[in-house]
Amino acid sequence: MDTETLVRTRRALHAVAELVLAGPQYRAGGTIRLRARPGGFATVVEPELRVVGAELVAPGRVLSLERTTCSELGTALGLAVGAPAGLYHDGPGVAADDPVEADPSAARRIADCFALGDAALRGLFTGADPVIWPEHFDIGVTVDEVNYGVSPGDAFQPEPYAYVGPHTPPRPGGFWNAPFGAARTVRELGDVGGLTAFLDQGRRLAHGA
């Protein structure tokens, strides 16, 4: 898959996650947390919304994300769309009336990355409840002052990657190959076992093991 299609789709899904799911959820229920679901991601409280591939699914409605805007989605669902106000300063940089274009194949790849991350994090950390954050659009957990997770890509790395980010920056070099800690592409790691091994190695090294 070409990088341009993947980046365009990630930007579209990030916009929907922030403006259509997390924003209305925060105003209704006080939380911006989203969760991985089969085929994509979803809200955790009302409104009941989930993204499956390149579609937005609501009770009784299925809306295409292949060519639309968040404003149009909000109008179709009777939602006041918009980012959670005052909580963070990053995000996708997409306005409600900007076009969003999600390619179905790229959307499935992003969903697969969230599913791999969710499985690896739950397997490694007993009782973990991985969260997809609308700010950076990654799935992760924080344990003993170390962030662990999987990103579908960003300005640092355009393709999906797993990361380990200690709150106290480690020495550069060796395992620690990123400004925030360590990162490996999902393509390089391959599967849940590969992701889990990478995250576990980061856990041990972050704590001096």
Do 150 and 198 lie in a common domain?
A: yes
Whole-number pLDDT of residue 174: 87
On whether both 73 and 121 belong to a single domain, the answer is no
- DSSP E strands in 34-169: the ranges are 34-37, 40-43, 50-52, 55-58, 61-64, 68-69, 99-100, 131-133, 138-143, 146-151, 161-166
List Cα–Cα distances, 132 to 56, 135, 208, in angstroms. Answer: 16, 9, 28
The pLDDT value recorded for residue 208 is 79
Residue type, 116: L
Residue type, 97: D
Question: Is the separation of the CB atoms in 164 and 89 below 8 Å?
Answer: no
Q: Tell me: the pLDDT tens digits for 55-88?
A: 999 999 999 999 999 999 999 999 999 999 889 9
Cα distance between the two ends of the chain:
38
- Residue that is last in its domain, among 84, 105, 126: 105
pTM equals 0.95
What is the biggest distance separating any 2 CA atoms in the chain, rounded to whole angstroms?
53
- Range of the structural domain that residue 165 is part of: 106-206
- Verify that 55 and 40 share a domain, yes or no: yes
- Residues 99 and 168 grouped into a single domain: no
Q: For position 209, what pLDDT does the model report?
A: 60
Q: Which of 105, 131, 148 is the last residue of a domain?
A: 105
pLDDT at 197: 98
The per-residue pLDDT string of the chain (209 residues; one tens digit each, 9 = 90 and over) reads 799 999 999 999 999 999 999 999 999 999 999 999 999 999 999 999 999 999 999 999 999 999 999 999 999 999 999 999 889 988 999 999 999 999 999 999 999 999 999 999 999 999 999 999 999 999 999 999 999 999 999 999 999 999 999 998 777 678 999 999 999 999 999 999 999 999 999 999 998 76
> In this structure, are 86 and 116 located in the same domain?
no
What's the domain count of the chain? 2
For residue 1, the model assigns a pLDDT of: 75
Task: Tell me which of 72, 105, 138 is where a domain ends.
Answer: 105
